[in-house]
Amino acid sequence: MSSYNYDSFSSEDYDFDHSTGPAVGEKAPDFLLTTSAGDKRNLLDFDGEILVLEMGSITCPLFQGRRKTMETLDVDDKRVSQAVLYVREAHPGADIPQHRDLDAKRQCARRLEEEDGETRLILVDDIEGTAHNAYGAMPNTVFIINRNGCVVFRAEWNNASATKAAVIALLNGQSYRAKSFFRPGPPAVSIRTLRRAGKGSVSDFLRSFPILFLNNIIKRNMRLLFNRPTDLSRNTTC
């Protein structure tokens, strides 16, 4: 088993100081993936004018805390498609361990639908995390991709309110200049998610919490504060 599929969470599994994967204005990589139902589908095979793609897993507190807002983005608007790229478990534990094979990964994706009520299309990455690594390998990044296959919005950590504002601006032909600051997930959702994963999940998270706080709430948000966002549109070419 590669180090990608870690058995226990550590802040050392992620690079919080450097971003990888497609930046805003660059081409989004395409992959042939398996849906939670077992069908094959290309990642960039979507209807409408934009695709909102979010990385997630059943044990990621941030992903779980944003789902309700994210599911409202495309209500009655055929111009918006949404998909979840199901990646490695962010905080595996005794009850929801890290995936050992693709079947185990698909089972977790189905639990996200059947137990948690996820309504978006779920695309399951391969066991090596090929697509996830190509998109930066963070647990809850969100991308907006236009019909030209260009990334027109990216947030290293999904701030659902900022993502929703970006969708509205892009559909209205406006520039999106607001910044997607990191916000912690709702405490109740975070605790419930970690406990559900089972023994080891909570303790691993608490052990890394000081580093997570420093790198995301302080350092990442400070970088965003002083960075100038790139203005793109839903018609951008790359």
Contact between 231 and 175 (Cβ < 8 Å): yes
* C-alpha span between 151 and 29 (Å, rounded): 10
Q: What are phi and psi of 50, to 5 degrees?
A: -140, 155
> Does residue 231 fall inside a structural domain?
no
Domain of 62: which CATH number?
3.40.30.10
In a domain, 183, yes or no: yes
Residues 6+ apart with CB under 8 A from 170: 50, 144, 146, 152, 153, 176, 233, 234
pLDDT at 73: 81
Q: Which one-letter DSSP state was computed for residue 231? A: P
Total-model pTM = 0.93
Closest C-alpha to 121, from 77, 164, 80, 82: 82
Instruction: Identify the pLDDT of residue 17.
Output: 83
Sites in the chain below the pLDDT cut of 70:
1-2, 75, 178, 229-230
pLDDT tens-digit map of 148-185: 999 999 999 999 999 998 999 999 888 777 678 888 88
At 101 the pLDDT is 96
Residue 84 counted as domain residue: yes
Mean pLDDT over the full length of the chain: 91
Sheet hosting strand 40-42, strand order edge to edge: 40-42, 32-35, 121-124, 80-86, 50-56, 142-146, 151-155
In a domain? residue 236: no
User: Is 1 a member of any domain?
Assistant: no
Q: Check residue 75 and give its pLDDT.
A: 66
Q: Is residue 182 part of a domain?
A: yes
Would residue 37 count as lying in a domain? yes
**Total domains present in the chain:** 1
d(CA 234, CA 231): 11
In contact, 182 and 162? CB cutoff 8 Å: no
Structural domain includes residue 235: no
Q: How far apart are CA 45 and CA 6, in angstroms?
A: 30
Domain around 166: 11-226
Strand partners, 179: none
